[in-house]
Amino acid sequence: MNTKKKFVGEGFDRIDGLLKVTGAARYSTDFPVQNLAYGVLFKSEIASGKISDIDTVAAEKSPGVLTVMTHKNAPKLNERGGLRGGAFLQSPNIDYRGQNIGVVVAETFEQARAAARLIKVSYEAAEGKVDFEKLAGTAIPSKNPGIADAVRGDVEAAFTSAEHKIEAVYETPIEHHQPMEPHSTIAVWEGENVTLYNAAQMVNAAQSATAATLGIKPEQVRIVSPHIGGGFGSKGGLWSNIVLTAVAAKMVKRPVKLALTRQQMFNSVGLRQRDRQKMRLSATKDGKLTAVAHETVTHTAIRDEYIEACGDCSKIMYDAPSSLITYRHVPMNIIIPTFTRGPGKAPGSFALESAIDELAYQLKIDPVEFRLKNEPAKDPSNGKPWSSRKVVECLRKGAEIFGWNKRKMEPRQVRQESYLVGYGVGCGTYPARQRDTSANIKLTRNGNEVRASVELAASDLGTGSHTIIAQTAADALGLEVPKVAVKIGDSTLPPAAGSVGSVGAASFANAVNDGCEKITDELIAKSGKQFFVRPTAAQMMISENLTEFQTRIDAKPPANVNDYSIHSFNANFAEVLVNEHTGMVRVPRFVAVTGAGNILNPKTARSQIIGGVIWGIGMALTEESIVEPRYGNFITRSFADYHIPANLDIGDIETVFVNEDDKIVNKMGVKGIGEVGIVGVAGAVANAIFNATGKRVRTLPITPEKLLL
């Protein structure tokens, strides 16, 4: 038994690591299902209009084909059931290029794919809205109250009268999720109940949305998702492919596996939308901000709306008496955008942190000092006190580690052979929240050996949920980590928050900790004894000669959390080398300092931050999805043309967590880090490029031609 050692806060190895490196961890298409058939999607080749005819005869006669499902024979589904993106084969209407228009099911994947190529589709094409450049001027306000304009003070008066100000437009392109595990499903029906092996960041939400779309009860749907090969938001809200797999399986009366191809990932599961952000900042000559205006124009789908909250960082990062945050959007014939790592805050922080850097340079104030001068004592957007805020510590610690004092104010002052060297800083934030989560805690004893099983419908995207749950339970029960079994990723387990929006770790760990405290209290009460020193649950199992005992907890966030502004914060420092002759940019060194409450496992937390930094570097330098402006198709459809950073593109990344004991956010003081790791990174890289070259590039990605022009 463990009566003294603490595992929470230690860099503990992943308990599921051996399963993963040996190939034993089961992802959505790895489950051994008998009599399996294979589905393949086929998709629209126009962006707008309708299908006038669809000829499936040749495909249906093709060897091995079991069925071809189109809008002509698909069952009636509830398109508003909660799944995303439409494309449920409910009508001949086409809203975007790449929309699902059918599924071929065959004995083998190869047979299904070959048959899909035999299908002939005729269209009545309409003029599509696919050119953002032409449509941006027609943008309209959002109908979503959560994306309403936010006005504080008088920005226009402050900006007009200011001695020092900047006004600039920053653009971020469409980006795509491309997790290692593409979206995929195995559907197995038993009578009127269906089991879906499907990667889901929110297991219970996937269950309820799928059930609502199919028109059956939630208890008739089981979602099994013990391991997820990455999601980054795209598996937070599930898409039509999951329900089409279920429908196909019911049609052929046998299990069906349907996995998206890498190219299909670009037009099936959403994207990060293109954002055009106008920034206006004004300040006094001594560097105090007087106004911050952040006005975003973006796009959404023709029939549905999703808008990234790009102005969220601008609301709270810096102290300014006047603020304006607005959103305008244009409906377009492109798949609906969706949650993407650091939604809103990642592109929004690029604009804000770049503008802050520009104004600091105009004022001839060090960018770190400028940020420190404008540190708010409370949340500027609502006047609430911070539960805790470590921006100052992050900036000072990062500057010390990075060697910021060596930075030159003027650009183009430092060289290494043919490279110009630059240093940049950018800050970021993301809300920290705990969500309702339930868990079963089960104890068993064999002799003097006590073991625990922890069960909840949590999820693990590869972030380490299994491990932090085991660490938390081991500490709270008085056991060693190997004595704790963790079962997650199944909708038959107690409902839990999802691994989205940086709520997973806080929700899972606090629920498990509360459950372990509850089972200990119940064991003590059952014994009828009093103790000078509180015993552990493991000790009670032995002393009371119990062979098994269990309880359930239904944990909720603290009652007073809405009285505070609760966020994780960071400071990012980038060093860049820019080849003066080719314009190629390298990032040999990056320091990320994060204030995110109690760090449950520094080892897995470090991996989270590194992943966010790498994606942020990709956002700054390489990632861009390009829409062909006549036909609405993505001309970047593979890793040959959609460029993500590879190992040789990334230099040394140092991650640092500042001590932060937040007594308000939740009992364990846990804040999220999955989202905040990417926020502020692109801004830091862009600012470093300016310091190296003297060229301010306001449109991402910063590719060589933009630096050579």
Which residues are annotated as catalytic? Answer: 675
Q: How far apart are CA 374 and CA 289, in angstroms?
A: 7
CA 190 vs CA 30, 376, 556: distances in Å: 19, 58, 35
User: How many other CB atoms sit within 10 Å of the CB of residue 52?
Assistant: 11
645 prior amide bond cis, ω within 30:
no
Specify which residues 325 forms β-bridges with: 150, 294
Helix (H) or strand (E) holding 223: strand 221-224
**Which tokens is 671 given?**
């804040």
Question: Number of C-alpha atoms within 13 angstroms, CB side, residue 561?
Answer: 17
Nearest CA to 499 out of 547, 536, 462 is that of: 462
| Cα dihedral sign, 28-550-446-10 | positive
Q: How far apart are CA 21 and CA 43, in angstroms?
A: 35
Largest CA distance in the chain: 81
Residue position matching structure tokens 């900042």? 281
- What angle, rounded to 10 degrees, do the helices at 345-363 and 681-693 form? 30
**Alpha helix (H) residue ranges in 236-381:** 240-252, 312-316, 345-363, 367-373
Sequence-distant (≥ 6) Cβ neighbours of residue 413 within 8 angstroms: none
DSSP code at position 180: S
Cβ proximity of 266 and 176 under 8 Å = yes
Provide Rg for the chain, Cα atoms.
Answer: 27
DSSP code at position 508: H
CA 398 vs CA 179, 355, 596, 616, 678: distances in Å: 30, 20, 15, 17, 16
Q: How far apart are CA 436 and CA 412, in angstroms?
A: 52
User: How many other CB atoms sit within 10 Å of the CB of residue 530?
Assistant: 6
Q: How far apart are CA 116 and CA 258, in angstroms?
A: 13
Question: Number of C-alpha atoms within 13 angstroms, CB side, residue 6?
Answer: 5
Q: How far apart are CA 675 and CA 339, in angstroms?
A: 11
**Which tokens is 404 given?**
């910021």
Cβ proximity of 311 and 296 under 8 Å = yes
Nearest CA to 339 out of 25, 36, 674 is that of: 674
Q: How far apart are CA 50 and CA 53, in angstroms?
A: 9
| Cα dihedral sign, 499-502-503-504 | positive
Q: Which amino acid is at 656?
A: V
Please give the torsion angle defined by the CA atoms of residues 414, 419, 423 and 427, in that order, rounded to the nearest 10 degrees. 170
Q: How far apart are CA 115 and CA 40, in angstroms?
A: 9
Chain centroid to CA 411: how far? 35
DSSP code at position 581: T
**Which tokens is 403 given?**
């060697």
Burial track 220-234 (b if 16+ CB lie within 10 A, e otherwise): bbbbbbbbbbbbbbb
Q: How far apart are CA 388 and CA 594, in angstroms?
A: 13
Ramachandran area for residue 287 (φ above 0: left; ψ -120 to 50: alpha; else beta): left
Sequence-distant (≥ 6) Cβ neighbours of residue 156 within 8 angstroms: none
